[in-house]
Amino acid sequence: MQDKFKLYQPWLTLLARLGLGGVLLAAGGLKIGNLQKSAMSVRAYEMLPVGLANFLGFVLPWIEIGMGLLLIVGVAVSIVGLLGALTMLAFVVAIAQAWARGLSIDCGCFGGGGEIAPEETKYLSTILRDIGFLLLGVYLYYFPKGKFGLDK
Amino acid sequence: MGSNSSGDKGTRNLVIGMISFIVVVGVVFSLISNRSSSTAAVPATVSEADGYGIVLNPESTPTIDVYVDYQCVACKYFEIINGGYLNEVIAQKKAKVVVHPLSFIGPESVLAANAVACAADENEFVDMNLALFQNQADQSNTGKWSKEYLAQLGKSIGITSSNFESCVNEGKYVRWTSNVATASGKADVNSTPTVFVNGKALDREAGEYGDLAKFRAALAAGGVK
C-alpha cells in the first residue's frame, strides 16, 4: 500500500496541479475580458466595503491566472497549492455567508456574477466543487513533487 | 539533486519572475484602464456629480436613478411594466431622472449605451430607450446591434440629424460608458435594473420592480406626486 502510493504520488501531484491550476487559469482568464462584471460579482457578496470589493474584482482574476500558470508548469507547487487552497476556502466562506444571509447571487466564479433570481442559485454544488479544489491544494502542499514539474 | 541543479534553479526563478511580471502588469493595467477618464467625451446632460448618468429634468425633485443594461432581459420587462409610467414622470417633470446605461453584458451593450447617449444629445432619449428595448435580440451579443443597425434604428424613430448618425458611427461616447460603469461600482449597483429614489433602492423582493402599482407606490413614497 505504502509502496503503491509512492509509485502513484508524483502522478497524482501532476493531476492535482493540472486540475487546480487549470481551473484557476480558466476562472481568471474568463474574467479578465469583463473586469467591471468581475467587480460587480465581488460586490454582490456584500462582504467587503465597496472600494475594496471593486479593487478585488480587478485584481483577483490576475492572481488566479498567476497561481494557475505556476501550478501548471510546476513551480513553487507547495506554497501555491497552499495559497490556492486558502483562495478556495475564502470562496467557500463567501458563498456560504451569501447562502446563509439569503442573498440570491451567481458565484461569478467563471465570469458572470451579480444578483440573480432566487431559483437560479447553485450554492451547494458550488461549495462542494470548491471544497474539492481546496483538497487538491492541500494535497499539493504536502506532496508538491510530481511529474513534469520545474520544482526539483 | 542532479549536477545541473543550479541551471534548474535559474529556469525556475526565471519562470517565477515571468509569471509575476504578467500578474503585476495585468493588475496595474486593469486598475488604470478601469478608472474614470476625465478626458472622455460625455453627452451634454452628463456630469460626474450624477454618476455620469444621462439627466432628464435637471431642475426637478426628487431624483430617480435608473441603472439598466440594454441587453438585460429583466430590464426589458421593467421597461414593459413600468416604462410608460416612468416616461410620464419624465414628460411631466415630476422628478429628475438619471439613467445610467451599463455595459457589463458585453460589446453590444456598449454600442447601445453610446447610441442612447447620442439620442439624448438630440433630446430623443425616451424614444431611443424604448426602441432599444423593443428591438432587443433574443440573446446577448449576437451581432444584431451593429453601429449601422443602431443608426438606422434611430433614423426609423425620427432622429434624422447627421450629428446623431456620426455620433453613433464614430462611437463618440464609447469611452464614457466605462465612466458610467466605474461610477455604478462606487454606487454599489450589483444587478440591473436597479432604481434608486433619492438614493434609496427599490425593494426587489417586495416586487417593486415587477409590479406597476408597487413601482408607483415606491416612487410616491419617495416624493413623486
Interior CA angle at A98 toward A92 and A104, to 5°? 125
Contact between B108 and B148 (Cβ < 8 Å): no
Write out chain A residues lying below 8 Å of B103, CB-based. 36
Q: A112 CB contacts (<8 Å, ≥6 apart)?
A: A37, A41, A106
Lowest mean pLDDT among B7-16, B41-50, B182-191: B7-16
Q: What is the CA radius of gyration of chain B?
A: 22
Residue at B42 is within a domain: no
At A114, which helix (H) or strand (E)? Answer: strand A114-115
Q: What is the percentage of chain A residues whose pLDDT exceeds 90?
A: 73
In this predicted structure, what is the pLDDT of residue A148?
Answer: 85
Contact between B29 and B21 (Cβ < 8 Å): no
Q: Does A105 touch chain B (CB under 8 A)?
A: yes
Confidence of residue A116 (pLDDT cuts 50, 70, 90): confident
Could you say which DSSP state residue A89 is in? H
Other C-beta atoms lying within 10 Å of the C-beta of residue B49: 8
| Nearest-by-Cβ selection for A36 from B16, B23, B181 | B181
What's the domain count of chain B? 2
At A20, which helix (H) or strand (E)? Answer: helix A2-32
Answer yes or no: do B212 and B124 share one domain. Answer: yes
Q: A–B: how many Cβ contacts below 8 A?
A: 89
Domain that holds residue B2: 1-33
In this predicted structure, what is the pLDDT of residue A150?
Answer: 80
Answer yes or no: do B86 and B18 share one domain. Answer: no
Residue at B114 is within a domain: yes
In this predicted structure, what is the pLDDT of residue B149?
Answer: 97
Residue at B137 is within a domain: yes
Write out chain B residues lying below 8 Å of A39, CB-based. 34, 185
Answer yes or no: do B19 and B113 share one domain. Answer: no
Write out chain A residues lying below 8 Å of B102, CB-based. 36
Residue at B67 is within a domain: yes
Interior CA angle at B105 toward B104 and B110, to 5°? 70
CA distance linking residue B75 with residue A107, whole number of Å: 21
**Rounded alpha-carbon distances, angstroms, from residue A47 to A36, B44, B106:** 18, 37, 26
In this predicted structure, what is the pLDDT of residue B211?
Answer: 95
Average pLDDT (A15-33) is 96
Q: Does B106 touch chain A (CB under 8 A)?
A: yes
Q: What are phi and psi of B85, to 5 degrees?
A: -65, -40
Predicted confidence (pLDDT) at residue B116 exceeds the cutoff of 50:
yes
The dihedral formed by the CA atoms of A94, A96, A97 and A99, expressed in degrees to the nearest 10: 120
Answer yes or no: do B19 and B118 share one domain. Answer: no
In this predicted structure, what is the pLDDT of residue A117?
Answer: 83
- Name the one residue in this structure whose C-alpha cell is 466543487: A129
- The pTM assigned to this predicted structure is 0.87
Could you say which DSSP state residue A80 is in? H
Instruction: Give the bridge partners for B97, in sequence order.
Output: B56, B64
Answer yes or no: do B153 and B85 share one domain. Answer: yes
Q: B5 vs A40: CB contact, 8 Å cut-off?
A: no
Q: Kindly report whether the peptide bond that precedes residue B62 is cis, defined as omega within 30 degrees of 0.
A: yes
Task: Specify the higher pLDDT residue, B20 or B47.
Answer: B20
Confidence of residue B6 (pLDDT cuts 50, 70, 90): low
Question: How many Å lie between the alpha carbon of A63 and the closest alpha carbon of chain B?
Answer: 6
Q: Kindly report whether the peptide bond that precedes residue B193 is cis, defined as omega within 30 degrees of 0.
A: yes
Predicted confidence (pLDDT) at residue B9 exceeds the cutoff of 90:
no
CATH number, residue B151: 3.40.30.10
Could you say which DSSP state residue A122 is in? -
Answer yes or no: do B133 and B196 share one domain. Answer: yes
Answer yes or no: do B25 and B54 share one domain. Answer: no
Q: What is the percentage of chain B residues whose pLDDT exceeds 70?
A: 97
Give the N- to C-terminal CA distance of chain A in Å, as an integer.
25
Confidence of residue B4 (pLDDT cuts 50, 70, 90): low
Q: What is the mean pLDDT of chain B?
A: 93
Answer yes or no: do B19 and B81 share one domain. Answer: no
Average pLDDT (B208-216) is 95
| Nearest-by-Cβ selection for A36 from B31, B34, B191 | B34
Q: What are phi and psi of B65, to 5 degrees?
A: -100, 130
Predicted confidence (pLDDT) at residue A11 exceeds the cutoff of 50:
yes
Answer yes or no: do B13 and B112 share one domain. Answer: no
Residue at B57 is within a domain: yes
Residue at B203 is within a domain: yes
Other C-beta atoms lying within 10 Å of the C-beta of residue A22: 13
User: pLDDT for B24-35, tens place per residue?
Assistant: 999 999 998 888
Predicted confidence (pLDDT) at residue A6 exceeds the cutoff of 90:
no
Residues of B (70-89) whose Cβ lies below 8 Å from A? none
Q: Does A78 touch chain B (CB under 8 A)?
A: no
What grid cell was written down for A6?
509512492
In this predicted structure, what is the pLDDT of residue B3?
Answer: 44
In this predicted structure, what is the pLDDT of residue B5?
Answer: 57
Task: Specify the higher pLDDT residue, B71 or A115.
Answer: B71
Q: A114 vs B23: CB contact, 8 Å cut-off?
A: no
Percent helix, strand and coil across chain A, each to the nearest 5: 75, 5, 20
Write out chain A residues lying below 8 Å of B1, CB-based. 152
Residue at B43 is within a domain: no
Q: Does B185 touch chain A (CB under 8 A)?
A: yes
User: pLDDT for B48-68, tens place per residue?
Assistant: 899 999 999 999 999 999 999
Answer yes or no: do B176 and B200 share one domain. Answer: yes
- DSSP letters for chain B: --TTHHHHHHHHHHHHHHHHHHHHHHHHHHHHHTSPPTTS---TT--GGGTTPEEE-TT-SSEEEEEEETT-HHHHHHHHHHHHHHHHHHHTT-SEEEEEEE-TT-HHHHHHHHHHHHHHHTT-HHHHHHHHHHT--SSTT-S---HHHHHHHHHHTT---HHHHHHHHHTTTHHHHHHHHHHHHHTT--SSSEEEETTEEP-TTTTTTT-HHHHHHHHHHTT--
User: pLDDT for B167-178, tens place per residue?
Assistant: 999 999 999 999
Q: Does B20 touch chain A (CB under 8 A)?
A: yes
Average pLDDT (A137-143) is 96
Q: In what order do the strands lie in the sheet with B96-102?
A: B54-56, B96-102, B63-69, B194-197, B200-201
Residue at B19 is within a domain: yes
Predicted confidence (pLDDT) at residue B85 exceeds the cutoff of 60:
yes
Task: Specify the higher pLDDT residue, B12 or B173.
Answer: B173
Answer yes or no: do B25 and B107 share one domain. Answer: no
Q: B15 vs A75: CB contact, 8 Å cut-off?
A: yes
Answer yes or no: do B182 and B216 share one domain. Answer: yes
Rounded to the nearest 10 degrees, what angle do helices B147-156 and B107-121 cross at? 40
